[in-house]
Every structure is written in structure tokens, then in C-alpha cells.
Homo-oligomer: A and B are copies of this chain.
Amino acid sequence: MTSRETSIEIPLEELRQQRSAKWTAYPPDVIPAWIAQMDFRTAEPIKTALQEIVSQEDFGYPRREGQQPAVVLAQAFSEWMDKRFGWSADPALAVPVSDLAQAKFAAILAFSDPGDGIALQTPCYPPMLEAIRETGRRFIDNPLVDAGEGVTLDIDGLARAIDPGTRMILLCNPHNPTGRVFEEQELEALVALARRHDLVIVSDEIHQDLVYPGRRHMPLAALSAEAAKRTVTITSPAKSFNIPGLRCGVMHFGSQELKDRFHRRIPRRLLGQPGIAGMDAAITAWREGEPWLSQVLARLTEARAQFEAAVGTALPAVRWHAPEATYFAWLDCRDARLPTSAGDFFLKEARVAFSPGESFSPGYRDFVRVNFATSTAILQEIIARMGQALLRFAR
């Protein structure tokens, strides 16, 4: 490990002092590796931007570069998309949001009515399903398929599942919890299907920046004009830059028509707006955060390799497909034949807290989602505790 990587890691004793949900939800003998938050120091430019707000007491009605901060935010979003993915996202079609749960609720309410069908790949990040259920929409399950090489979109299954009352596809790409980065070919097939049935696609791309070497994230709206005009891209620097508590994200509409349709039901001011701390952090992340992100990606790549080495050796009964993106290990523990759900087992027997598989879909109680965005030492301890618990149980 080089000193460059070391510098972002936060030692355990310091993490234990955090006020965050991640580090306060469990007793101190438990190592938390559940919620999507990294145990890394914040990018210096972000910290500096926030320090400036506080030292200047810049808490009034803000302006940035002579404009509303929301305008600068949209510009910074567009610059980042172009720089990282070669996507020319029109800043005029971007709307700030507090978080992506808000964005999902807003899109569902704007583009569908109660009883309408919304397709979603499972397993899925729990708030996606909640957004469908709480708004009284109909959940159309489109399970991901795993033919042994990692999960893929089941386009044929989706074609069969779509009915005349279906209005929308909720996509998560890169995919949480599996870490898949869908291929352009899969996305094209999805868009073709959406076109045939005139569906809107809401594409949650919050993990866009956390992609490992060898794979490349393709923003859905950048795929084709046909994709753009029916795609609402929702994203945020909250995951990549580890600032979810500041609450700032973006909804981008692939066409003016789509945005107009949205605002016919959801007036802009109904969404409120992010506070200046969230806006400045997001703007700074997108404009000055790249060097820090490279450090994080280097550490995550290393952490993924650390896990890879453990699977099959220290964790013989655990299977996985190494994630192509995200800092999640989606672990298949079916071979271990555990007495309880895998999440419960590891919490009780290994004192490590993961996100239980069943929270992503009822059929996944033998799975856990492990957040490996932590220091080498902590990840080592997590793997050791898992291995010991599995060994004790196997005896």
C-alpha cells in the first residue's frame, strides 16, 4: 500500500467516534459494512468549500459566479458527464434534487398514474421498490438472470412482463447490489423495448464513477437520440464523493419535451432546493474532485482484490462475481447452508453488519451485500471474522 492510498483511510478508533448511521447503528463490537458510505476522508476541495461557507457565514440567499447556485450545479454536472463519459448533457435540462429517492418519487408521479405498471430489475436497492409501492403503482418484476458469468438483463422476460398498463422502467446502472455495469447491447435492447411500448426509463446512475478498470459506464441518455428522449437520468456526487448527508443530486431529462411533461405535474418549486452546503459540495466535487476520486478508485480496486483473494480460500462456501462497479460485494452464501438468513448469521456469529440480501428481494436471504469501502485493516478483520464464523458453523 502506498502512502497515497493510506492517506484517505480513516482508522477504526476515529470511525467509532462518527455520528453517522453507519457507525452508530450497532454495538461497538460489531464492524459495520452495510449502508453505502465509505470509511474514507473527504476530498480536500470539498472540505475547503464548506469551510469557506462557514468562515464567511455565507448562509444568506446565495449566488455563485453571479448566478443561482442551481445554474452552476447544472453546469458542473454537464462538465463532469462530458469529461468522464463523453456525454454532452444539456445543463438547461437538469433540475436539482435533494436525493434520488425524491427524484424517483417525482418521476413516478409525473409519468404514471396509480395502478400503472413500473418494471424494475431485482434484486434491487430497496427504495426503488418502495417508490413503486408507496405511490400505488404496480410492480412488474424483471429478475436479473445469472447464467454463471454475472447477472444480465432479462430482455425477453421483460418483453413478456410488460402489459398495456406499463408506463416506466426503473433502471439502476451500475447496478446495486450486484455491481454489474450493463453492456451497451443490453441497454440498446432495453431502449428498443421501451420504444415499442412508449415507456419512460428512469436511470439511476449514482454509481457511475465507481467503475473498475476494464469496464466503462455508458450513460443511458448518451446511447442514442431515441434513448435520450425517453430517459430521465438521476445521479449525484453523493456516492462517489461520500457526501450523502449534504443532500444534493440532479435529475436530467433527455429532451425538452420530457422535461415539460414532468413539470406539468411536478412544479419545480415543489421539489424545494438543496441547501448551499450541498450545492457547493456537489459543484466542487464535479469540478475539483477528480484527483481524490482516483485515489478512492485505487483503494477500492485494491479492496476488491483483497476480497477476491478471500473468496474461495478464507471464505470457501461463498461465491461472488467480482463487481464491475460499486464498492459492494454481493455474496452468494447458499453453499454454506446457513441456519438463518446470511445477514443475521454474520451479524450474530461474526459481529459484522451487512445489508441482508432479503432487503433487496425476498428470494435472497442467503445473500449479503458487503460494503468494502474501508481500510485494508478493517476489511481484513471483516474477512477474518466471516471466515471464522463459517468455519465454526461448518464444524
A residues in contact (CB < 8 Å) with B: 17-22, 24-25, 35, 37, 41-42, 46-47, 50-51, 53-54, 56-64, 66, 97-99, 101-102, 104-106, 109, 127, 131, 134-135, 242-248, 267, 269-278, 281
Partner of A66, one of B24, B35, B101, B246: B24
Partner of A131, one of B42, B248, B269, B274: B269
| Distance in angstroms between the alpha carbons of A269 and B18 in the assembled complex | 26
CB pair A267–B21 under 8 Å, yes or no, is no
Partner of A275, one of B20, B46, B66, B246: B246
CB pair A62–B20 under 8 Å, yes or no, is yes
14 extra A-B contacts, CB within 8 A, seeds A61-B244, A127-B269: A17-B56, A18-B56, A19-B63, A21-B60, A21-B63, A24-B63, A37-B61, A50-B277, A59-B281, A60-B242, A98-B274, A98-B275, A274-B275, A275-B275
CB pair A102–B58 under 8 Å, yes or no, is no
CB pair B275–A278 under 8 Å, yes or no, is yes
| Distance in angstroms between the alpha carbons of A104 and B278 in the assembled complex | 23
Closest to A281 in B: B59
CB pair A20–B269 under 8 Å, yes or no, is no
How many identical subunits does the complex contain?
2
CB contact under 8 A between A20 and B58, given known A246-B277, A275-B248, A278-B275: yes
Partner of A270, one of B41, B106, B277: B106
| Distance in angstroms between the alpha carbons of A47 and B58 in the assembled complex | 11
A278 surroundings in chain B (CB, below 8 A): 275, 277
| Distance in angstroms between the alpha carbons of A223 and B102 in the assembled complex | 34
CB pair B47–A60 under 8 Å, yes or no, is no
Partner of A273, one of B99, B109, B276: B99
A271 surroundings in chain B (CB, below 8 A): 98, 102, 272
CB contact under 8 A between A97 and B272, given known A47-B54, A277-B277, A278-B277: yes
| Distance in angstroms between the alpha carbons of A244 and B20 in the assembled complex | 25
5 A-B pairs closest in CB distance: A98-B272, A102-B272, A277-B277, A20-B60, A247-B275
A25 surroundings in chain B (CB, below 8 A): 63
CB contact under 8 A between A59 and B18, given known A98-B275, A275-B98: no
CB pair A58–B245 under 8 Å, yes or no, is yes
A101 surroundings in chain B (CB, below 8 A): 269, 272
CB pair B267–A135 under 8 Å, yes or no, is yes
| Distance in angstroms between the alpha carbons of A279 and B248 in the assembled complex | 14
CB pair A102–B57 under 8 Å, yes or no, is no
CB pair B272–A275 under 8 Å, yes or no, is no
CB contact under 8 A between A42 and B57, given known A99-B272, A267-B134, A273-B98: yes
A105 surroundings in chain B (CB, below 8 A): 267, 269-270
| Distance in angstroms between the alpha carbons of A56 and B10 in the assembled complex | 12
CB pair A276–B245 under 8 Å, yes or no, is yes
CB pair B245–A62 under 8 Å, yes or no, is yes
| Distance in angstroms between the alpha carbons of A251 and B267 in the assembled complex | 18
Closest to A39 in B: B60
A272 surroundings in chain B (CB, below 8 A): 97-99, 101-102, 247, 271-272
A51 surroundings in chain B (CB, below 8 A): 54
A20 surroundings in chain B (CB, below 8 A): 58, 60-63
CB contact under 8 A between A21 and B246, given known A270-B270, A273-B99: no
